[in-house]
Chain A
Amino acid sequence: MVLASGLRPDSESRPDSESRSAPVVRLSQLNRYFQLGDQTVKALDGVDLVIETGDYLSVMGPSGSGKSTLLNVLGLLDRPTSGDYFLNGRLTTGLSESELAHHRQIAIGFVFQSYHLIPRLSARGNMELPLVLAGWSPAQRRQRVDEMLDRLQLSARADHLPRQLSGGQRQRVAIGRAVMLKPSILLADEPTGNLDTHSGAEVVRILEELNQEGITLVVVTHDQALGARAARQLRMVDGRIVMDQRVDSGAT
C-alpha cells in the first residue's frame, strides 16, 4: 500500500521540490521561553538539530524537559522565541499565520496522546477532515479515505463515532488523519500514552511502517522500550538535547 503522492491526487510534484536535498528540519540555536510571572522558563534552550528525510527519531527525557514544546515548534503550532527553523530548506520564522497554516497542511502530520478527534464526526469524517479543508471533492476524498481505512483495518468502523471506538482504533483514525496528505514529517507526542500494551504495539507498528515508506517520524515517549526502537534517539533535559545517538539495530 502506497500513500498517494502530493497534496492533490492529480499533482505529482511536491511544493518544495526545489529544496528536496535539504534536510526536512534544521534548527539552529532555537529558544522557546515562557514567562511565568518574573521567572523565565527556558522550555527550549539553544537547540540545534538536523533531521534528514526518512529519519526515525525518538525523544525521551524527564517530564517538563521540553519534549512537547520541541514537537509543537516543529509542527508550526508554536513559534520559537528566537533562533531559526528551516522546514524543507525554507525558513519558517517570520512567516505569516496563513503561510504557517499552509505549511501545516502540506508538510506536517501531528498525532496527539489524547487523539483529538471531533466527537460528532464519524471515523471517516475525522479522517477526511484534512482533505475537506484542502478542498478535495467528495469523490476524491472517498477513494483516498477508503484506502486509508482499509490499510488501518478500520473499514468496518468507518461510520462509528469516536466514542464507539476503542483507544487503539481512535489513535489509528488520528494517524490516518495525520498522514492523509502525505506530510514530510510525522510528529507523535506520546502516541501510546493512553493505550494498553497491545493497542500501543499496533500503533507503533503502523507508525514504523509509514516511516519505512519514507515519512520522517519523530516520536516523543516516556516508554523506554518504544524509545529504544528508533534509529536515532534524543534525550532532553531542561530544554536542551543532552544525547543524540544513532543506533544501528533500529526498528525490527
Chain B
Amino acid sequence: MRFPDALAFALQVIRRQRFRTAMVMLALIIGVSAVNLLTGLGEGARRYVVGEFSSLGKNTLIVLPGKTETKGGMPPLVGEAPRDLTLGDGLALLRIPGMQSVAPLIIGMAELSSGGRVRDSLILGSTSEFFRIRQLKVKLGKALPDQDWDLAAPVAVIGTQLKKELFGTSSALGKWVRADQRRFRVIGILESKGVALGHNLDEVMLIPIASAQTLFNQAGLFRIFADVMHERQIPAVRQRMLEVVKARHDGVEDITVITQDSVLAGFNRILRLLTVAVGGIAAISLGVAGVLIMNIMLISVSQRTSEIGLLKALGATQSTIRNLFLGEALLLALLGAFAGTVISELLLALGRLSFESMPLQTPLWARLASVSLALGTAVIFAWIPSVRASRLAPVEALGSGQGV
C-alpha cells in the first residue's frame, strides 16, 4: 500500500469518526498546551529576571549589606547584626584603583502631595553618579546635582508617570512636592524607561542621598552601586572592595558584592530547572491522553472487526493492517499536537500583550518535546490495539459484522 493511500485511508476514518477524533484531539491539545504554556511561563520568568539584571551594566558591581553568600565557614555569631553600609564606606570604595564611579542608594516609600494631589511613591535617594551607572536620562530639566554626598539639598527628579499623576499636563519643573514633612523642588523629569530591577522608574522620585537619610531617618545604605573602568578589572576590584570594607568594619567581612554574571548564572540555573520540572509535570497529561488513545483505538478495532476481516480477505497483510491503525493514531496525534501548539502560541501571544514586560515564550526544546511526546505516546498506546487488529483471524472477523 502506498503512503499517500494509507494517509487518505486514515483521513477518511478520522473524518467519519468525529466524536472519537474530537476526544483524542482534545486530550492531546490539553497535553501539548500544558507543556508549552508552563514551560513558556517558566521561560518567561527566567528571561524576565535575566533581562532585569542585564539592565545592569557589565562593569557594574553591587554591594549589599550582610553576608548572603554561603561559602561554608563559621555562621555569624548569635545576636551580631550586620553593620550598616555607610556613606564613608562608599567614599572609601571610590578610592580603589580602577574604580570609575560609586553611587550609594537608599530606598523608601513616602506619601507625596502637590496641589491637592496625593500619591504613595517609591523614593530613591542617591547621587548624580546613579544616573550614569543606571543609564538614566532626564527628559526635562537636569539630573541630581553633582555635589558632596552629605549635602541634603531639597531637590527631586521625578518619573514621567509620577509627574502626570501629581501635576497632570501642567509643567512640574520648579514646583514643590511635599514628602511627609519635607518639601522638594522638582528640578528634572526622567525619560520614560519602564521597569528595571523590579522598580518602575516612571513612578519613582529621586532625591539626594543625604536628603533621603534625613527623610527616612536612616543612615545605613540599601545598596552601593560601583562601576569599574574595564570589565576585566572586576575580579581584582571586587576583592579590593571586600578588603576595604572589612578593614572599616573592624575586620568582619559583612557585605556581599554581586556582579551581573554571578546573579544571572544563579537565576538562570534555578529557573531553568523549574521550567523543566513544570514541563515534566505537564507531560503527565500527555500520558493520560495516551491511555485515552488506547481505549478509543480498542473500541475502534472492535467496531471495525468486519472491515479488518474484509481487508484480510482482499490480501492485506498483518503489517499493513497494523500500520493502518498506527498511522491513524499517529495522524490524530499530529493534528492534536499541531492544534495544541497553535493554541498555546496564541495564548502566550495574548499573555505577552497583557504583561508587556514578561517575555513569555515556549523554548524550542519544549515545543519539540511536546510534539514528539504526543507522537510517541500515540504510537506506544496505539500499538496494542493495532497489533490486536492485525492478528484477528479473517473468518472470525468477517463473521462478526453485519456488513453493508
| Bound Cα distance from A184 to B402, whole angstroms | 27
Q: Which residues of B contact A181 (CB under 8 A)?
A: 315
CB pair A97–B404 under 8 Å, yes or no, is no
CB pair B403–A112 under 8 Å, yes or no, is yes
A101 and B312 in contact, given A112-B398, A163-B404 (Cβ under 8 angstroms): yes
| Bound Cα distance from A59 to B294, whole angstroms | 44
Q: B344: CB under 8 A from chain A?
A: no
Tell me the residues in window 104-141 of chain A with beta carbons closer than 8 Å to chain B beta carbons.
104-106, 108, 110, 112, 114-121, 125, 129-130, 132-135, 137
CB pair A105–B404 under 8 Å, yes or no, is no
| Bound Cα distance from A137 to B5, whole angstroms | 9
CB pair A105–B394 under 8 Å, yes or no, is no
Q: B311: CB under 8 A from chain A?
A: yes
A120 and B16 in contact, given A101-B318, A104-B314 (Cβ under 8 angstroms): yes
CB pair A104–B404 under 8 Å, yes or no, is no
CB pair A102–B315 under 8 Å, yes or no, is yes
A114 and B403 in contact, given A77-B394, A77-B395, A120-B12 (Cβ under 8 angstroms): yes
Q: Which residues of B contact A72 (CB under 8 A)?
A: 395
- Closest Cβ of chain B to A15, distance in Å, is 12
Q: Which residues of A contact B316 (CB under 8 A)?
A: 101, 133
- Closest Cβ of chain A to B88, distance in Å, is 87
Partner of B320, one of A75, A106, A130, A133: A133
- Closest Cβ of chain B to A154, distance in Å, is 16
Q: B218: CB under 8 A from chain A?
A: no
Q: Which residues of A contact B317 (CB under 8 A)?
A: 97-98, 101-102
Range of interface residues on chain B?
A: 20 to 34
CB pair A133–B314 under 8 Å, yes or no, is yes
Q: Which residues of B contact A162 (CB under 8 A)?
A: 404
Q: Mark B12-43, 1 if CB is under 8 A from A, else 0.
A: 11001000000000000000000000000000
Tell me the residues in window 133-182 of chain A with beta carbons closer than 8 Å to chain B beta carbons.
133-135, 137, 162-163, 170, 177, 181
Q: Which residues of B contact A130 (CB under 8 A)?
A: 314-315
Partner of B5, one of A97, A108, A112, A132: A132
CB pair B402–A133 under 8 Å, yes or no, is no
| Bound Cα distance from A101 to B320, whole angstroms | 10
Residue among B1, B306, B314 facing the most chain A CB atoms (10 A cut-off): B314
Q: Which residues of A contact B403 (CB under 8 A)?
A: 112, 114-117
Q: A78: CB under 8 A from chain B?
A: yes
Q: B310: CB under 8 A from chain A?
A: yes
A104 and B310 in contact, given A116-B398, A119-B404, A120-B13 (Cβ under 8 angstroms): no
Q: Which residues of B contact A101 (CB under 8 A)?
A: 312, 315-318
Q: Mark B376-398, 1 if CB is under 8 A from A, else 0.
A: 00000000000000000111001
Partner of B315, one of A105, A118, A120: A105
Q: B2: CB under 8 A from chain A?
A: yes
Q: Which residues of A contact B320 (CB under 8 A)?
A: 133
Chain A residue at smallest Cβ distance from B321:
A101
- Closest Cβ of chain B to A240, distance in Å, is 20
Chain B residue at smallest Cβ distance from A101:
B317
Q: Which residues of A contact B404 (CB under 8 A)?
A: 114-119, 162-163, 170
Contacts across chains A and B counted by CB atoms under 8 Å: 81
Tell me the residues in window 285-327 of chain B with beta carbons closer than 8 Å to chain A beta carbons.
306-307, 309-320
Q: Which residues of A contact B13 (CB under 8 A)?
A: 120
Q: Which residues of A contact B1 (CB under 8 A)?
A: 132-133, 135
CB pair B314–A129 under 8 Å, yes or no, is yes
Q: Which residues of B contact A121 (CB under 8 A)?
A: 12
CB pair A133–B315 under 8 Å, yes or no, is yes
- Closest Cβ of chain A to B212, distance in Å, is 78
Q: Which residues of B contact A129 (CB under 8 A)?
A: 311, 314
- Closest Cβ of chain B to A48, distance in Å, is 22
Q: Which residues of B contact A118 (CB under 8 A)?
A: 307, 310, 404
- Closest Cβ of chain A to B17, distance in Å, is 9
CB pair A97–B318 under 8 Å, yes or no, is yes
Partner of B313, one of A77, A98, A125, A134: A77
- Closest Cβ of chain B to A211, distance in Å, is 20
Tell me the residues in window 308-358 of chain B with beta carbons closer than 8 Å to chain A beta carbons.
309-320
- Closest Cβ of chain B to A159, distance in Å, is 14
Chain B residue at smallest Cβ distance from A180:
B314
| Bound Cα distance from A177 to B311, whole angstroms | 11
| Bound Cα distance from A191 to B177, whole angstroms | 101
Q: Which residues of A contact B306 (CB under 8 A)?
A: 116
Q: Mark A13-33, 1 if CB is under 8 A from B, else 0.
A: 000000000000000000000
- Closest Cβ of chain A to B321, distance in Å, is 9
Chain B residue at smallest Cβ distance from A114:
B403
| Bound Cα distance from A108 to B394, whole angstroms | 14
CB pair A116–B312 under 8 Å, yes or no, is no
- Closest Cβ of chain B to A34, distance in Å, is 11
| Bound Cα distance from A118 to B398, whole angstroms | 12
- Closest Cβ of chain B to A93, distance in Å, is 16
- Closest Cβ of chain A to B325, distance in Å, is 15
CB pair B315–A104 under 8 Å, yes or no, is yes
Q: Which residues of B contact A115 (CB under 8 A)?
A: 403-404
Q: Which residues of A contact B311 (CB under 8 A)?
A: 129, 133
| Bound Cα distance from A104 to B401, whole angstroms | 20
| Bound Cα distance from A162 to B307, whole angstroms | 14
Q: Which residues of A contact B307 (CB under 8 A)?
A: 118
User: Other CB < 8 Å A-B pairs besides A137-B2, A181-B315, 4 of them?
Assistant: A108-B313, A116-B306, A118-B404, A135-B1
Q: Give 13 CB contacts A-B under 8 Å.
A: A98-B318, A101-B315, A102-B315, A104-B312, A115-B403, A116-B404, A118-B310, A129-B314, A133-B314, A133-B320, A135-B1, A163-B404, A181-B315
- Which chain B residues have a beta carbon within 8 Å of chain A's beta carbons? 1-2, 5, 9, 12-13, 16, 306-307, 309-320, 393-395, 398, 401-404
- Which chain A residues have a beta carbon within 8 Å of chain B's beta carbons? 72, 75, 77-78, 97-98, 101-102, 104-106, 108, 110, 112, 114-121, 125, 129-130, 132-135, 137, 162-163, 170, 177, 181
